[in-house]
Structure formats: C-alpha cells, structure tokens
Structure 1
C-alpha cells in the first residue's frame, strides 16, 4: 500500500512524522510520504497517486476537500481521518475494498488511539462479501451486487459458494474457519466454474470473484538452502495473511535459474517457478522498486525480487510486499490488477 499523510497544523505534522516512522518499518507499506498544508492541492494529488490517505485535520476540512473527487468504492483510495492529538482514527472512505477499515485499526494501534468504524457489517460483526474479496485478493465482477449480498449477510441468510472441484481452495476454507466475523455459507462444486473463480449466489443474484495473480519474487545468495528460503517465504505471506495455496507463482531472475534452493522450494510447495530474462529486467522501470547498486554493478540490473515479481504479475501490477531481507534471502510480493 502506498500511503500519503496530509497534515494542516504543526502538531498534526509532528504526528505525521511519528506515523511515518512506524510505517516505514512495515513491509506491507510500499512507500509513505508526508504533505503539509496546501490541503486541497495535496489531497487532489494524493487521491489519484496513492492507495490510501491519512488526513490529520478536522473532518470538515477533509470532507469539503475530497467531495468533488469521490467517484466509486471500487476506485477511490482508502481515506482515514485523524485528529491533531491522535485520539481518534476514523475510517472515512473506501472502508472495505480500499482497505480503510483495516488501515484505521493499524494506525490506531500504532499511536494508541481509538479506531472509529461505521460500516454496517463491521459494527454487526458480520463478514461482508467485499471484505472477503479484499482479504483473499479477489476481484469482484459486479460491484453493484455488493449491497444486496451484504444486506443478506446482515439478515443471516446463507450464501452459496460454487467452486471448481479440481482446484485447491485451502486458502478459502482456512479463511472462513479462522475468521471471527459471522457469515453463513454453503460450499458446492461444479466443473463449469473456472478454476480461478468463486461464484457467490443468493436469491438469483450472483457475484463472480476472480483471483488476482499473486507472485512471490525471490532473491538469494548463491547456494542458499531451501529451508532458509522457505523461512523467508512463510514469514512474508504470514505478514500479509496469505495462505500458501493462494500463491500462484514463484519467480526470480534468470541468473538464479539453476539455484537448487529455489527449485526445491517450488517442488516442496507445489507452486510453479519462472525466471525472468535479464534483458526484460534491464528494461523494466518502476518508481516502487528499491535500487541496489551492488546488484547493478554485478548483473546490470537494479534488483531481483521486486522487478521479477512485478513483471510476472503482469501489466499494471502492484507491489503488496516490498523487498525484505531474511538472512541472505530477499522476498517481494506483487499482485495483478
């Protein structure tokens, strides 16, 4: 997640730097930038350039500044509102699909504040269909149906989930088993359903949830053991609450194509691995990739795990886990749009 923090007062700016310092140590935060004063200008910029905005200001200033920018719960960024004293963190826009509710709880925990969340499913301890989709990195084909499904969930009705019987859906079963929010579902199977889809049905209404491609990029020292690479892999997906069965692909640079540790990891996890040509890596550009002078001097590319993951996740992909080191192993994770 790319986060912009916008503040107005001197006290708010001090709080912004405190929050940024904490978020910079979070591997799930790809970047965090601070903007001070010139609220309308900075909010207008951040609205389209960042995944989330933390607005440290009065709610009236925030609402008036973003009113003309709001378009859709599918595309609008997550926006949370924090008072200057850091007493309350309020989920203001895109609570579910945008991730504002989750970010609200995270920031409130970091600064010891009270989180304020008002979405109906959350306050009634129910699992919204859009929350399920976001948590499992699934696209929703018909977002207009979200309201109907969440209303049914609030009323305790049962949702039917239709799956392909030949696909491993352990990630879905584990999620439903461990989730503390209430939802009533029945699981059915049909070979007519594409393997990368989950069809949710109720009262003649249907939503198709399609898996985004999740790609784990790996870099490592020569001869690194499979067990060490596995340790970094498991720690990174744990940070994102991703089940290993939800990962679609492992990847690295072609210079690692003979690395036994990576090849053995692919076999052990039963997840395919692909290696990216050096020429593709040399041509690839992204503002989100961390540049390594050492890797550049040795192989002529700026990095391995981040660009490999982004390339293999496809056009317009995004990092959800920045390059993180684990004892000679680097891991980055990207998803398709």
Structure 2
C-alpha cells in the first residue's frame, strides 16, 4: 500500500451549496467523526485524488458535474454520495462496492433516518459480491475482467467454484452461488492465494496483503542488483509481490538508494527499526558477527520482518549478496460482511417464518429469530412504571442491542403485531400491547428493510432504507 493510499483511509470531504445544505453538512461531518472518519476541507479535484469518500449535500446534478473530470473506474475512484438538503434520501453515485459508497450510505442513512437508494445489481438481488468480499478481507483483485464476469454469472443464477489456500473459520459457510472446488475447464472460479504462479484464464485470483519483506544489504548496493535479488527471492518462495504489505529494515538503511528504490518498485510503505528495537524482537534468528559489528544487531532482515508480522515463512536468506526474510500475519478469510438489518412484522399465522426461510434460501439473510419475550416483558414493566424518560431509555437500549445482534449475525428479527381486536381488560395486557407497538416503530426506524406479512403475502414497507 502506498503512502497516498494509506492517507486516504477514513478521510472524507463534505460539500454543500445552500444555507440549509451547509447546516445538514455540519451534522453529517459530526456523525462521520463519531464513526471514526476524518473530515477535510479541499477542492473537489484534490479530495477525489486523496480521500476515501466525497459527500455532496444538494442536487445530484451538481455532484455529477463536479466529479465528472476526475472519474476513472470503480477500482480507483473514491466513494461519492449525494444527499438532498432535507436529509431524506442518501444516494451512492460512484464506487458502491470497492469504494464503500453503499456501506457509507447505509451508515449515514441510519443516523439521519434517511432513505438509502441502492442501485448495484448484486445488492438488489441478494447475490455474493466478489469485490465487496475482496475489500472486506484486504484482497487484491488480480483480474478486473474476471471479477465482472463472476458477478454477471452469479446474477444469472450460475454457480462459481471457490478455493482458498487459507482455511476458512469453522463456522464459515459459502454464500449462495459458490461451491467448494477448483475452477473446471471453461467454468469460472475464485482462488484466494498468495502464490506467484498465474492462475487459469477462468480463475480470479484474490491475493491477501499479509507478508512483510525484511531486507538487509551492504552500503551502496546497486539498485538493479537488489531489485532482481528481491524478485528472485519471492519467486523461490512462490509468493506474489502483490501479497506484500511492508518492506522493513534497520534505520541505517533509511536513506540507502537501493532500499528506497526497491520499496518504490514494489509500491510498499517502509518501516525502519533501530538496533535496540530489532534486538528486542523475540525469537531465534541466525546471526552474523560482521553484521553485529556494523549495525549493532546480529540479524537485520529476519528481525525486521518479524517485527512486522508473527508467522515465519522464510528466515534469513542470502541472494546475490543481499539478505531477505519473509514473515506473514494471521489471516482467515471471512464472508461476514454487514448484512441489512431486516425486520419482519405482521399478526400471528400470517407467514412471517415462511418468508424468512425464503430469504435464507436466497442468501439474503443468514437466519432469523423472534424478538425474545424478555424484551417485551422488560418494556412492559418500564411502561407500567409510568416514567416516560426511563421507558424511552429502556426502549433505546433494547433497540440498539437487537439491531447490533441482528446485523452481526446476519439474522432477521420477527415480531408479531398484537394491536388488533378488543382492548384488553387488564392493565398489564394493555401495556404489553403498547410496548409491542412502540418497539415495532423503533425497530422499523433502525432497520434497513421492513416487511409486513398479511394473508401470507409479503409487502416491503422499507428496503435499503427506502420506503416503498
């Protein structure tokens, strides 16, 4: 990752062109800062080049004209969103998946209570998105064309092979459309691997950036010599240069031309450690008396790599007079991206469970569960105490807990309506009815999608945050 790419992470610019728009923009900036973003002030062109996201408050036409001269492609462009000045609609305009515009739109939409207009096909059809999977796991996409072909195949209902050189977690399940296996002749496949060999034409290789390259060399080592030696070392280890995330060495090499040129060639950030810092790295390392006299520590390349990542792949290795070492970070691919929070409401025996089972089969949700009785009892007790502020606090606490749990597990919540019919005789039963009604309203406001089941028919009241 280059310095420019690292600087743009979590950096956002917000633009507004009217008084009302500027008021909303200030509110959005506050929400983004609370979510861990850095809000900057910059011209559109500068922000487009350096930031992770641009948010325009105002007409979408203004946003389109402002960004038009700078648009390249979805693998390079930042996320671009447009929000009307009343804060009713959030529209991802550019880089919905790779740039994270859809995810950011949902975040802002939830905070503002705004409708989110998602238009990407894989989201709308509940299909696995390979570019989102790659972004979430820090994987480099080696073929943009194959990524597009795989998305198109999944949208057509076809299946795609999936293999990984790194074991999945025990409870991980392949999403709908993927099956475990290697790509067959003439069929598309996905491979998660750091290997340097070129995959078949029909296979999309996704490379995790988890390897740290340690480097040591004599002073004034020729630039080309060090570069060729490093590439030869990586080839011998069968590790793609795209799998590297860091080049590390001792601080005495900070200004060594060959080391700086190698980092530039590999497009890697650098870390330089003092002799004392390297000596403090735990582990067994092959040492050299000459290196110790020269630098103050007996091992440079291996200790520097080990300081960046814990798993040893190759210790000190001499190639053409230079020394290299390779260590990597822990890595377990996961399909767990943030799914929409789905609420399924309706009276008893209207088909809520069957509709949830259908959403599971389609891969839209991972499971479902009813709102626990303890939640309804706690809210009923709070209502009976007739302390409005206390009830609102209890309601907010439960809604946050239920929504967070549902999102983390990818589950839908089922909640039965009990507001019809005769008014109950007992005070507690009346309070229970009121508690359920208020909980439904609060959960619907927090949910990304809300479905109402009547007579076995599902009616979408809200989808991707948009009322329908």
TM-score between the two structures when normalised by the length of structure 2: 0.41
Q: Is 1:2 the equivalent of 2:35?
A: no
- 1:54: Cα distance to partner? 0.8
Separation in 2 of the partners of 1:135 and 1:150? 17
Conserved 8 A contact 1:199-1:206? no
Separation in 1 of the partners of 2:197 and 2:205? 5
Conserved 8 A contact 1:6-1:55? yes
Residue 125 (structure 1) aligns with:
126
Conserved 8 A contact 1:4-1:54? yes
Residue-pair matches, total = 220
Residue 33 (structure 1) aligns with:
40
Separation in 2 of the partners of 1:93 and 1:9? 23
**Secondary structure of the residue that 1:274 maps to in structure 2?**
helix
Which one of the candidate residues 172, 178, 184 is aligned to 1:184? 178
Deviations 1:100-123 (A, max 9, x none): 111111111121111111010100
Conserved 8 A contact 1:3-1:54? yes
- Give the ranges of 4+ consecutive aligned residues of structure 1 lying more than 3 Å apart after TM superposition: 197-202, 251-259
Q: Is 1:169 the equivalent of 2:173?
A: no
Closer/same/farther in 2, CA of residues 145 and 252 from structure 1, 3 Å limit:
same
Conserved 8 A contact 2:193-2:206? no
Separation in 2 of the partners of 1:12 and 1:115? 18
The unaligned stretches of length 5 or more in structure 2 are: 1-9, 184-190, 213-244, 247-270, 284-304, 310-327, 330-468
Separation in 1 of the partners of 2:105 and 2:131? 17
Q: Looking at CA atoms only, which structure, 1 or 2, has the larger radius of gyration?
A: 2
Separation in 2 of the partners of 1:157 and 1:197? 27
Superposition pairs of residues 1-150 of structure 1, within 5 angstroms: 1-27=10-36, 29=37, 31-34=38-41, 42-150=43-151
The unaligned stretches of length 5 or more in structure 1 are: 36-41, 216-247, 265-271, 277-311, 314-337
Separation in 2 of the partners of 1:160 and 1:144? 17
Separation in 2 of the partners of 1:10 and 1:139? 42
Instruction: Return the structure number with greater relative CO, CA threshold 8 A, min gap 6.
Output: 1
- 1:199: Cα distance to partner? 11
Conserved 8 A contact 1:125-1:182? no
Conserved 8 A contact 1:158-1:186? no
